[in-house]
Chain A
Amino acid sequence: MTYTAMKVEIDTDGVALVTIDLPGQSMNVWNEALMTDFAAFVEDFCKNDKIKGAVITSGKASGFLAGADLRMLGRGGPTGGAKLSRKEQFENIFNLNNMLRILETSGQPAKALLKGEAYAKPVAAAVNGLALGGGLELVLACHYRIVSDDPKVQLGVPEVQVGLLPGGGGTQRLPRLAGLQNAAIMATQGQPIDPQTALGYGIIQEVAPRDQLVAKAKAWVKANPKVAQPWDKKGFKYPGGAGAMDPRSVQFHMGSNAMAQRETQHNYPAVQYILSCLYEGSIVPFDTAIRIESKYFFKLLTSAQSRNMIRTLFINKQAAEKGEQRPKGVEKTKLKKIGVLGAGMMGAGIAYVTAKGGAEVVLLDREIAFAEKGKAYSQGIVEKGVSRGKVTKEKGDELLARIKPTTDYNDLKDVDMIIEAVFEDPDIKADVIKRTEEVIGKDVIFASNTSTLPITGLAKHSKRPEQFIGIHFFSPVDKMPLVEIIPGGRSGDASLAAALDYVGMIRKTPIVVKDTRGFYTNRVVPPYINEAMLMVAEGIKPALIENAAKSLGMPVGPLALTDETSLELGLRIMNSTKKELGKDYKPSGVEDLLETMVTKLGRKGRKSGGGFYEYPADGKKFLWPGLEEYFPIAKEQPTLEEAKERLLYAQLIPAAQCYAEGIVSDPQSADLGAIFGWGFAPWTGGPMSHIDTIGLDTFVRKAESLAQKYGARFSPPQHFREMAEKKETLYKAA
């Protein structure tokens, strides 16, 4: 037998050592080649009397097996693309489950195992590194599971994070080993556990030093020639109970159903299907249970949601982080030492993430006290991390030692890059640019953090505008995953490359956007927030607005968000925009509401004691009851669905406009920016993915009907109308 993705060596005792080692790949995954090889091995294993048992391990230092190849799954499974009947497609999907079941039964019928009339040949897994998804599922199908004693080894089933479920028996073997509750937490949240926890759960039987794994696994196989999984033996019971009649499992299912609905807001069918697999699978024999699991997996894999989530949250996110938009042929930027100008809230956060990324930071401000205060921000985060055991004291101290507060521009003379985050005032910025460029090296890239000022304009203050670029961080910098990179009119390739290299170093997700007012995210969020405020002004119950947004999958309601960013800031931006645009200013309709809230009522936002919400010191925030007095509740209220749709399109339309205007150059950037920038419902895969999923013509029609109802701001961009007419899609290929 010849294999390409793995190696099989049979020793003198007849124990087959299967070493999975995908050629030319850094990590083992279930792909077509491994599926083919493994199926051939399992067949041989069952038939060949010379093979008495098997040990499965990995030939990679990077881990055991990281799950299924997401690109393969994104295409709809192992034979995606081919025109197959549903039944054939199902059988393809069932393949992995079937293969693992044959491995654990040696192809013996379950009834014969149950009666003790037949046995399976022993299979042990020697897990020498991370085993995730289908990797862990392979491990679980082995009779003996021994894992390297390294606490960094991750064991888990993360499929839910891309809208899928563990489809290789994970939803069946995990609860049979670890009980329903542990299995539910692992599978519905997707977080990995370490080997000791897995041992405690009963998922694995032994933890041992990495170099002893194979020997120990072999010894076990030799000592246990006739085996069967616990669920193939008479009298098997789930730890902690299971089924429709056990009060313990009834209680568990009722509770987990509610918790899951609270967490998913009915937006992630994968979570329900996982719970269904746990429930239904616990009532039937194992062979039926894995078919049920594969059927739910089939439903998810053939849905647009998993395709969208895989595409945006994994494939495109990773591509962006690896510098897909980086100009080719530019040498990697040296980023050992970074100058951060301005130690205010943004600068302090930037200093922290930069030091955390491993670079030295010169944190400069006008007064040393300000610079010190900026560093203290990092100290606060580090101390919190140390007290919670998230970072060691030593590492934390090293990080802090990398930040040097200063007022002296000369300290910038040997930095590799500048991130400027001073006050958003063109004059102040001009002065800082001038003084900095006097000391820094002539090739050093100058990146300006701004959310409102056009980069091309700022670059005019620079002597080397080709080395000048914009980087838009979000607040709080240490928590927000997205960064917008804004090449100005004269920014050169080296500046874009440096900006992307820098964002890579601080491990955030970049999108490249065009230099226009608000860039991308700040072009979309204000109209969305405005829509919510318009709804308040119309007398729609504020709770309905907030619940509609949450139900849509937004992390917080738009009114709560407005309180966070402050209504006062909203009013200020509105007034300055008004002043700047003069007679070109288009009223947004919320001017009166903002004036009333801020000027008349002093309800400026959370930090000023309250806005749309009240913030009691000793309890949860609640909507300010006085709101009704100034914005009386209308008799006619929209349904929850209507409110959701309005808030959804209030984001889809401006996002579409940004794409149509080329502010974001491709749908993937628009999607990444939305999800990681302002928390747009991740279950959609982003606004462009969502528009593709509902269909461009549906989107255009819906937008037109909303425009009729609420106003022209809902009109779909002309470009989208044309694409709809031509029956095009935003993403070219799935």
Chain B
Amino acid sequence: MTDAFIYDALRTPRGKGKSDGSLHEVTPVQLATQVLEAVRDRNNLDTALVDDVAFGCVSPVGEQGAVITRTAILNAGYAETTAGIQVNRFCASGLEAINVAAAKVKAGEADLTIGGGVEHMSRVPMGSDGGAWPVDPSVAFKTYFVPQGISADLIATKYGFSRDDVDAYAVESHKRAAKSWAEGRFKKSIVPVKDVIGEEILDRDETVRPNTDMQALGALPPSFAALGEGIGFNSVALQKYGEIEKINHVHHAGNSSGIVDGAAAVLIGNSEIGKKIGMKARARIRGFASVGSEPTIMLTGPEFAAQKALKRAGMTTKDIDLWELNEAFASVVLRFMQALDIDHKDMNVNGGAIAMGHPLGATGAMILGTMVDELERSGKSTALVTLCIGAGMGTATIIERV
């Protein structure tokens, strides 16, 4: 099997995903276009060499529909021979897109690919695709569908994380994100977003709050109590988790991932193409895996995806220096650390989506890039990147600095 290497990784900053967010006035296609342009321009890349581009996108409808990847390729002025595909694995779409791009290289069916993702949540809101899973009674009943916030609270209840535990985790996420920005740890990968007239409109993540503390978070009301108690989703969850008397609603806007806009791209190729384009590989993709898990608790998949990826790569948790798990909700990360016995100092070292936001289809590619940068900065060797996923799945990718 051919090795797949990461040659470059970059992303837009994440804009607040509301109508007053800085990126609201640019289109999703623009976000995708600008990261593709950046991959080309900062590496003097002959785009005719790029075989395929895979971008994750979770709500591929409206202006994110019609295979946004191909639209962005054409819009960025890439060679028309570069193909594009849009990938949807809910929150892990961006990482899955990278795995698809890497798989083509590993299989020897492509030399140079781009994986990445885009999600403009302020313009195409979550759930815009009207998918059947939560809505069609025949599948909602069968799968005991509950919203992710209920699943996150269920994890906290089942595995014993208190409101203080999740809030403390959130405070640390903001602290780490702020420190990383202050120290310029994201410098290598940030591509400021430009507007129609070519002005930069955002050059840093918009939702980090360096001064967030326990007191500020303590004042926030739980977000999912009304859905759980009032609408009845708690009862649905307890019909599967009968050992629990009552779900403890600990999550709120301050310890859950933020809604943001953004895009990311990662350039992947075999070793020969590196010589041809005159680029040095930054990391090798050791392996990856996706797995399905129990859909009602939904967000425990990363544990199993990580184990599967490690096993397939012939590694153990001891072989991983840095861990990156998307901070969809604080309890998801706390449970992952508990299950795999991971020290918080090695986990999400530069903060995560609680501080910086989670642009659904792009996040996986963003946090993979974060790990490429961090391995280089810290001189460490290996990192495992993973995300929890809707409907009970997990995707994990292991990289190694070269």
Identify the A interface with B (CB < 8 A). 243-245, 247, 250, 253-263, 265-266, 272-273, 275-276, 279-280, 541-544, 546-548, 551, 622-623, 637, 640, 643
Q: A612: shortest Cβ distance to chain B, in Å?
A: 11
Main secondary structure of the interface of A (DSSP, over half): helix
Q: How distant is the Cα of A543 from the Cα of B146 in the complex, in angstroms?
A: 20
Contact of A250 with B243 at beta-carbon distance under 8 Å, contacts A244-B135, A276-B136 already known = no
The answer, yes or no, to whether B219 is at the interface (CB within 8 Å) is: no
Chain B residues with CB below 8 A from A261, complex form: 141, 144, 232, 235-236, 239
Contact of A544 with B136 at beta-carbon distance under 8 Å, contacts A258-B233, A259-B231, A262-B236 already known = no
A541 adjacent to B144 (CB under 8 Å)? no
Chain B residues with CB below 8 A from A276, complex form: 136-138
B132 adjacent to A244 (CB under 8 Å)? yes
**Nearest residue, chain A, Cβ from B146:** A258
Contact of A272 with B137 at beta-carbon distance under 8 Å, contacts A261-B144, A544-B243 already known = yes
A253 adjacent to B135 (CB under 8 Å)? yes
Q: How distant is the Cα of A247 from the Cα of B62 in the complex, in angstroms?
A: 14
**Nearest residue, chain B, Cβ from A639:** B242
Contact of A258 with B127 at beta-carbon distance under 8 Å, contacts A543-B243, A551-B242 already known = no
**Nearest residue, chain B, Cβ from A641:** B242
Within 8 A of A (CB), among B210-240: 231-233, 235-236, 238-240
A and B contact pairs by CB, cutoff 8 A, 29 listed: A243-B130, A244-B130, A244-B136, A247-B127, A250-B127, A254-B145, A257-B141, A258-B146, A258-B232, A258-B236, A260-B137, A261-B141, A261-B239, A262-B235, A262-B236, A263-B232, A266-B141, A272-B137, A276-B136, A279-B136, A279-B137, A280-B136, A542-B245, A544-B242, A547-B239, A547-B245, A622-B245, A637-B243, A640-B243
Q: How distant is the Cα of A276 from the Cα of B135 in the complex, in angstroms?
A: 10
**Nearest residue, chain B, Cβ from A545:** B242
**Nearest residue, chain B, Cβ from A265:** B239
Chain B residues with CB below 8 A from A551, complex form: 239, 242
The answer, yes or no, to whether B107 is at the interface (CB within 8 Å) is: no
Q: State how many residues of chain B have any CB contact under 8 Å with chain A.
A: 27
B135 adjacent to A254 (CB under 8 Å)? yes
Chain A residues with CB below 8 A from B146, complex form: 258
A272 adjacent to B240 (CB under 8 Å)? no
**Nearest residue, chain B, Cβ from A541:** B243
**Nearest residue, chain A, Cβ from B245:** A543
Chain B residues with CB below 8 A from A546, complex form: 245
The answer, yes or no, to whether B246 is at the interface (CB within 8 Å) is: yes
Chain A residues with CB below 8 A from B233, complex form: 258
Chain A residues with CB below 8 A from B145, complex form: 254, 257-258
A255 adjacent to B141 (CB under 8 Å)? no
Q: B191: shortest Cβ distance to chain A, in Å?
A: 33
Chain A residues with CB below 8 A from B137, complex form: 253, 256-257, 260, 272-273, 275-276, 279
Q: How distant is the Cα of A247 from the Cα of B236 in the complex, in angstroms?
A: 22
Identify which of B130, B236, B242, B244 contacts A548 (C-beta below 8 A): B242
Residue of B145, B147, B231 with most partner-chain A CB within 10 A: B231
Chain A residues with CB below 8 A from B245, complex form: 542-543, 546-547, 622-623
Chain B residues with CB below 8 A from A255, complex form: 231
Contact of A547 with B238 at beta-carbon distance under 8 Å, contacts A257-B141, A272-B141 already known = yes
The answer, yes or no, to whether B65 is at the interface (CB within 8 Å) is: no
Closest 5 CB pairs of A and B: A262-B232, A262-B235, A543-B245, A547-B242, A640-B242
Q: A727: shortest Cβ distance to chain B, in Å?
A: 33
Residue of B141, B147, B236 with most partner-chain A CB within 10 A: B141
Q: How distant is the Cα of A255 from the Cα of B236 in the complex, in angstroms?
A: 11
Per-residue contact bits, chain B 28-46, to A (CB 8 Å; 1 contact, 0 not): 0000000000000000000
Q: A182: shortest Cβ distance to chain B, in Å?
A: 17
Q: B186: shortest Cβ distance to chain A, in Å?
A: 35
A245 adjacent to B130 (CB under 8 Å)? yes
Chain B residues with CB below 8 A from A542, complex form: 245
The answer, yes or no, to whether B140 is at the interface (CB within 8 Å) is: yes
B232 adjacent to A254 (CB under 8 Å)? no
Contact of A257 with B242 at beta-carbon distance under 8 Å, contacts A262-B232, A262-B235 already known = no
Q: How distant is the Cα of A245 from the Cα of B132 in the complex, in angstroms?
A: 10
Chain A residues with CB below 8 A from B246, complex form: 622
The answer, yes or no, to whether B292 is at the interface (CB within 8 Å) is: no
The answer, yes or no, to whether B134 is at the interface (CB within 8 Å) is: yes
Chain A residues with CB below 8 A from B136, complex form: 244, 253, 276, 279-280
Q: A367: shortest Cβ distance to chain B, in Å?
A: 45
Q: B29: shortest Cβ distance to chain A, in Å?
A: 21
**Nearest residue, chain A, Cβ from B134:** A254
Q: How distant is the Cα of A567 from the Cα of B224 in the complex, in angstroms?
A: 36
Identify which of A259, A275, A280, A623 contacts B232 (C-beta below 8 A): A259
Q: How distant is the Cα of A262 from the Cα of B140 in the complex, in angstroms?
A: 13
